[in-house]
Amino acid sequence: MRTDGDAMKAKTPFQFGWIIVGFGFITLGLAYGVIYSFSVFFVALLKEFGWSRSVTAGGFSLAVIIHGTISPLVGSMADRAGPRKVFLYGSLCLGIGLALCSLTQTWWGFYIFFGVITAIGVGSIGWVPNVLMIQRLFKEKMGLAVGMISSGIGIGILVYVPLIQYLIIQFGWRMAYRIMAISIPVIIICMAIILLKRPLQATSSDQIKMEDSHKVTKDPFIVNEAWASTSWTLQQAIATRQFWLLGTSFFLGLLITQSIFAHQVAFFVDQGYNPLFASYIVGLVGVVSLGGKILWGALSDRIGREITYAMGITCYVFGVMALVVLNIFPSSILLYLFAFLFGMGYAVTAALPPLVTADLFGGHAFGGVFGSIMVFSGIGAAFGAWFAGFVYDVAGSYLPVFFILIIFGLFSSLSMWWVAPRKIRKVPGKAK
């Protein structure tokens, strides 16, 4: 039994697939532009309310926890009802949350408005529903497609962080939140109504299971046929060692990158740079990550997921080392070196998770499995943002944080090698 989405894909596989890539590119840029603009709101909130850095960063941490925690639910909803409804309801929730952020008077109020309501909105229109659509429309070029949509996050960082900093300077941080509350939901709702008219979801789970099993047994990329022919459910996936190793790798990957993202503007200001210039450096990170995500995604299709991830983490390590040196020998050159290396390192932690998850647990329940994996990422990102603020409050410096993050990065790469997706499915470049 073929669904409308399957018929549409059969008639216009190239056009429709790449239209969805464009939709995901824009949506992820807008959604995560909200999250990463926190670094400039962070400085504004510290200035107005005088909260400690750990308390203020806790709002970001809570947002990332909620974003990750709701991912299994979002994935299951997208599997059952289709991504379109998830995008519509999520956009409305996002708008309400941002509007309430502009009314913040207390730290606990900010936690509710940004850390809970806004985070639910971002999670509902973010990674999980977008990756679910890509996973169903692409096979051999999934790395490229995921890299392209995730590069939209780089555009969000590039455009939104400096733009929001400008709006804060000109109109205040409250008005900046109000502008975001109106513009972002309107754009995403309009695109979802126009582009997602037909569901991409199968109507018969049994048929999909049979088709998936038939496809993987004849797939030339398969290394472990017993594993790949399994029609994975969430319960089955959770019972595997690979699920937990993958979760550990992504937990550490998001911990190290979000620690830097949440505190980089404050660190640069501490070094004597003005907030607007610091926001430009953050924007440069976004530019680099834009190309980096496409590069890592496409490269992983050719040389393998593990080696690609290790290369990206190596970039991250050298980027953090640039901050260590900057703390001792201030130099603008080190700022730009950091932006390039950290942007490339961050890019690999964004582009690889959905690809490796699809390699291991692709199938009719992929949305729920990937959503559950994202819980690890959310907890890691949340803990990282809080942890960096806590260590700073105790030590009065970010240097101890940087050294700890380097160690965590190395363990994240090691966990990916232990997952060994190469032993389950060959990437297209290795199957030729």
> Does 106 map to a domain?
yes
Give me the percent of the chain exceeding a pLDDT of 90: 21
| Residue 173 lies inside a defined structural domain of this protein | yes
Residue 129's closest CA among 400, 342, 367?
A: 367
pLDDT at site 307: 92
Most confident of 255-269, 339-353, 363-377: 339-353
Write out the residue range of the structural domain in which residue 231 sits.
4-427
Flag whether 270 is in a domain: yes
Mean pLDDT of the chain: 81
Q: Which residue has the higher pLDDT, 212 or 56?
A: 56
Residue 150 within a domain: yes
* Arithmetic mean of pLDDT, 137-161: 75
Model confidence at 23: pLDDT above 80: yes
pLDDT winner (highest mean) among 133-142, 326-335, 396-405:
396-405
Residue 270's pLDDT is 82
What CATH number does the domain containing 91 carry? 1.20.1250.20
> Is pLDDT above 80 for 401?
yes
For residue 73, what are the CA distances in angstroms to 69, 128, 321, 370, 378? Answer: 8, 10, 38, 11, 14
Q: Which residue has the higher pLDDT, 94 or 138?
A: 94
- The whole-model pTM stands at 0.70
Q: Would you say residue 140 lies in a domain?
A: yes
Residue 432 falls inside a structural domain: no
pLDDT of residue 195: 76
The stretch 384-413 carries a mean pLDDT of 88
Q: Indicate the length of the chain as a whole number.
A: 432
Is residue 392 in some structural domain?
Answer: yes
What is the phi/psi pair of residue 140, to 5°?
Answer: -65, -30
Look at the chain and report how many structural domains it folds into: 1
